[in-house]
Structure 1
């Protein structure tokens, strides 16, 4: 809500620029280098299947620790089962303070 005089001009509305779209970028890295990176196609989202396939790519070493947040693709039972089968150690995501 905006307080203004009846004779004052109406406020300007900004238009969204066509190039201001979101691009999702997935990256896995270790202490030395980037292990995997991928740009997601426009209009696609990360679901359990995509997350599991990316986790398989990152399983190049037996000492892999995976830390992710509590998003639905990360916490689904399908993802958790796959991570157990891949024997990936998952570190808990700390709560924001």
Structure 2
């Protein structure tokens, strides 16, 4: 399970849960705390201007992203959630912009163990330039407009 936080300037936090661990509200809020502490020195202007998160539309059980604890955490720090229609994978920017190219990069490679795979994933993300992330953010709005024009239908079939 990988949780990715990024913006138009690049990767902010990549959190990979150890094999066998599942994501629920407690570790998710711990990840949000890590994110908050990562943002503070790297991009303090974000904490002043507000943070908007876009969750994917398939929250891990038991609804980590919408749990009472998570919602209280988000309210405490005044972070907002960008609404994401159910069953709209083509509107999850990490899904269409990050994980597709990552999957292509990893395709056909063999890894000795989980640590080697995680190292390769971290290395791949670290080599992406800022333009890659900017394109991902800027492609989101036209995708949303197209989804609205199609009355909520999928953009990519």
In the superposition, the TM-score normalised over structure 2's length comes to 0.43
Q: Following superposition, which runs of at least 4 residues in structure 1 exceed 6 angstroms of deviation?
A: none
**Counterpart for residue 51 of structure 2:** 64
Aligned residues: 74
RCO greater where, 1 or 2, for CA within 8 Å and sep 6 or more? Answer: 2
In the superposition, the TM-score normalised over structure 1's length comes to 0.67
Give the distance between the partners of 2:52 and 2:76, measured in 1 at CA.
14
1:92 and 2:83 are equivalent in the alignment: yes
The alpha-carbon deviation at position 58 of structure 1 amounts to: 2.6
- Pairwise CA RMSD: 1.5
Unaligned stretches of 5+ residues in structure 2: 40-45, 88-152
1:41 and 2:18 are equivalent in the alignment: yes
Q: Which structure features the higher share of strand residues?
A: 1
Q: Which structure features the higher share of helix residues?
A: 2
1:32 and 2:9 are equivalent in the alignment: yes
